[in-house]
Structure 1
């Protein structure tokens, strides 16, 4: 039995790739022409994709009655690095017209069986937790039993990428035993999320559920296994450029490089440039390196500081270059066959704005599909 879904703020369609072949996309929405082009290139032409601002989408644009609605709505105003506007901001505020469409579907008798929101970790604490409470009130207002989790892509991929997921099950559907717990689980429910529940209204709190997903199997990929020997689209830095990066490091980070040099083997690390305040009170740009076989969280290439750099250390030989776009795609769990934009910044932005494919697959296999299967069996019975 195939399942159906809508994909809002679809980007390059990574959520659909994560859901897999058992799912059919009835409708997808994106307002970025470059991302829409990538979606179509990787989804058999993407005839289901509507290139339009979500605020201009109407219920008449939405076909059928979906099993799942997935929405990775814009994160900029909720991000810890953002401007603090939260759900009142211009970009993250796109949640409001999206949810109006969810209300319209319910008014039509086509309410989605499952709604899944994905965003940055900062969605939990944005606006003092009030934005989190607003999201909860939205689910509660439509009668969904819902809960939230933080899932880090590092469980599946060599990338540190914690993301917030709020998932609701329509109130008339049964939730299979074992999918909820009596309380929070440390793996999925960090203290900030537990604390955020204190802001829920009495009604929302009564519909809250602690989703209890299985622990993912041990990750079997390392950063080194995804790094291209002959990268495409990027060039190795000159010795002077690599020296410049080394000179930007604090003593703590230089010691990491020195230790890698003495390891007696090829060691691969990643670097982000960050602005830090020194002991003298002066803010300087620093190069911070990690050699733990985990990449830092991919971001959009708004500037040089947000583009991740690879450092390869072999004894006294130290080389550096930007992360290639194919490596960025692999760090999101995309297959080698995924067609990337030709321009570096467009491809990097596509990856940095996306959702990690195996995280979606885990949610689908352990939560979405069991719920749908249980309720279809109930209809047959």
Structure 2
């Protein structure tokens, strides 16, 4: 009797009882990465552990079929954002959060071959939308375990680091030069991966304040590190308000590999459209009363604002003009919603709903939100303005394509 091949990803998850927990190691990441990459030349990075883990699952759950991938592949990806079928480039997604940067680069033809994110709730959101469980703490992953790729992407968190003094060598890679000065920070992990994998290009995203941190010394070390690694660096602060109704400035750092581009890249940051969006465009027509601020919280915010106004400070809540744009949404939005409050006739203002937060970052409505409201607020507050990242990505990818075609024509002439 012919065995029935399970094809839907949701059915595979249910049969194998694939659950992301606080005690999960990277086995699920290996398994889902293999499912997504078994035909694109990087499967050897994931197959050994994925095979072993699949055997363990079959034994634990007493599954009748042999633990072979032939019973699970190919997969019908019943998820909002399935892997690109005919990709034109490969990328890795570090400090991935809920996948805002991944979505931008998938939209322009890229295939993600590795992703890393430490937060368990963000992993759940990521898997629900992309059908892939991110690997965990990048500081515990060797650069040798990451597949080759064309573009490295990452919205790395910035911790302060000192230009003086060298911390203990990272056990996963031997630092040298400016890498010494970044040890103990997550930027070090970006640098060691770039040093080992040497992608054609990279794009890093961070808060605007990175540029001025420690009187500019932090940013200076970052740029010098990336330059020493053999890349031509382009930096610019861009505002998400050109794509969404939110004032959100971020520093974007783009690098091109000198040995590939030879300093001939013609990259420019995108010309941004005139801001034309308004908050009312992203609002849901019917909103549950649970998002309306309680009398106690609303009174507290008003008194807090009065106190700081009397002291000459600008701290306080942000009542949003529905025909304008909002302040920057932060990861703390779940606490009181103070930075973006929506006025309501006849009652207290309300905070945005999680779906409205997703829209404020440029995520399409089919993006799933499988976590609690508080976790969703944190996740979207930590994410990126997706269409802004996509606009930058288009210019990076176009430049890679241009250089590749130029090199082909030069070879043809020879």
**TM-score when normalising by structure 1:** 0.71
Over residues 196-254 of structure 1, what are the superposed CA-to-partner deviations in whole Å (9 max), with x where a residue is unaligned? xxxxxxxxxxxxxxxx334222344310010112225843235676566555555xxxx
Q: Where in structure 1 are there 5+ consecutive unaligned residues? A: 79-86, 106-110, 180-211, 251-274
For the residue of structure 2 that corresponds to 1:168, the secondary structure is strand
Q: Is the 8 A contact 2:237 2:251 kept in 1?
A: yes
The aligned runs of 1:1-381 (5 Å cut-off) are: 2-21=88-107, 22-43=109-130, 45-46=131-132, 49-50=134-135, 52-63=136-147, 65-75=148-158, 77=160, 93-105=185-197, 111-174=198-261, 178-179=266-267, 212-231=268-287, 234-237=290-293, 242=298, 245-246=301-302, 249-250=305-306, 276=308, 278-279=310-311, 286-291=316-321, 293-301=324-332, 304=335, 307-314=338-345, 317-365=346-394, 367-381=395-409
Specify the structure having the higher radius of gyration (Cα): 2
For the residue of structure 2 that corresponds to 1:333, the secondary structure is coil
For the residue of structure 2 that corresponds to 1:104, the secondary structure is helix
Pick closer, same or farther for the CA change 1:304–1:177 going to 2, 3 Å: closer
Q: Give the alignment's Cα RMSD to 1 decimal.
A: 3.1
Over residues 161-204 of structure 1, what are the superposed CA-to-partner deviations in whole Å (9 max), with x where a residue is unaligned? 1001111100023366753xxxxxxxxxxxxxxxxxxxxxxxxx
Q: Is the 8 A contact 1:233 1:324 kept in 2?
A: no
Q: CA–CA distance in 1 between the matches of 2:327 and 2:181?
A: 27
Pick closer, same or farther for the CA change 1:234–1:219 going to 2, 3 Å: farther
Q: Is the 8 A contact 2:128 2:370 kept in 1?
A: no
Instruction: Quote how far apart the aligned CAs of 1:9 are.
Output: 0.4
Q: CA–CA distance in 2 between the matches of 1:227 and 1:30?
A: 30
Q: CA–CA distance in 2 between the matches of 1:338 and 1:303?
A: 19
Over residues 271-310 of structure 1, what are the superposed CA-to-partner deviations in whole Å (9 max), with x where a residue is unaligned? xxxx83624x8x8973343426111111112773565442
Pick closer, same or farther for the CA change 1:88–1:112 going to 2, 3 Å: closer
Q: CA–CA distance in 1 between the matches of 2:137 and 2:289?
A: 31
Q: CA–CA distance in 1 between the matches of 2:336 and 2:183?
A: 22
Pick closer, same or farther for the CA change 1:178–1:224 going to 2, 3 Å: same
Q: CA–CA distance in 2 between the matches of 1:92 and 1:339?
A: 34
Number of equivalences: 303
Over residues 53-78 of structure 1, what are the superposed CA-to-partner deviations in whole Å (9 max), with x where a residue is unaligned? 11111133211x21110011114659
Over residues 132-169 of structure 1, what are the superposed CA-to-partner deviations in whole Å (9 max), with x where a residue is unaligned? 11111111111111121101101111011100111110
Over residues 297-331 of structure 1, what are the superposed CA-to-partner deviations in whole Å (9 max), with x where a residue is unaligned? 111127735654423255xx354112111111110
**TM-score when normalising by structure 2:** 0.66
Q: Is the 8 A contact 2:331 2:382 kept in 1?
A: yes
Q: CA–CA distance in 2 between the matches of 1:213 and 1:103?
A: 24
Pick closer, same or farther for the CA change 1:178–1:309 going to 2, 3 Å: closer
For the residue of structure 1 that corresponds to 2:233, the secondary structure is strand
Q: Is the 8 A contact 2:236 2:253 kept in 1?
A: yes
For the residue of structure 1 that corresponds to 2:260, the secondary structure is coil
Q: Is the 8 A contact 1:74 1:92 kept in 2?
A: no
Pick closer, same or farther for the CA change 1:157–1:176 going to 2, 3 Å: farther
Pick closer, same or farther for the CA change 1:74–1:294 going to 2, 3 Å: same
Over residues 75-129 of structure 1, what are the superposed CA-to-partner deviations in whole Å (9 max), with x where a residue is unaligned? 4659xxxxxxxx9999981111231122122xxxxx1011111100111011111
